[in-house]
């Protein structure tokens, strides 16, 4: 949630809005898709306990993210750039 000298979404390295809360660990962005190291979408296979394929997808399960962050006093805010963004209070 915080990088000491900025990061991919802090292009200018100044942590101004909307990235100021990333600097203090109160904001986080997620891609809506699983990505490889080059930024290409990946298909991900999920298995049950018996090793059977239950799902193949490239979409992040944002329902699980919503549940996780809601329990930590965070609010989801969609970004125009196609990211899932959570803003958290103390």
pTM, to two decimals: 0.63
Give whole-number Cα distances, 35 to 13, 28, 31, 56, 87, in Å. Answer: 24, 17, 8, 14, 23
Query: pLDDT tens across 40-79, in order?
Result: 999 999 999 999 999 999 988 888 899 999 988 898 887 6
Does a cis peptide bond (omega within 30 degrees of 0) precede residue 18?
A: yes
d(CA 11, CA 27): 16
Cα-Cα-Cα-Cα torsion 30, 51, 42, 29, nearest 10 degrees, comes to: 0
Query: pLDDT tens across 53-64, in order?
Result: 999 999 888 888
């Amino acid at each position: 949630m915080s990088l000491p000298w900025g990061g991919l979404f802090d292009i200018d390295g100044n942590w101004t809005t909307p990235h100021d809360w990333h600097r203090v660990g109160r904001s986080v962005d997620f891609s809506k898709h699983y990505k490889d190291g080059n930024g290409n979408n990946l298909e991900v296979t999920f298995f049950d306990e018996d090793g059977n394929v239950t799902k193949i997808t490239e979409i992040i399960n944002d329902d699980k993210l919503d549940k996780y962050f809601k329990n930590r006093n965070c609010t989801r805010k969609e970004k125009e750039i196609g990211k899932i963004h959570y803003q958290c209070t103390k």
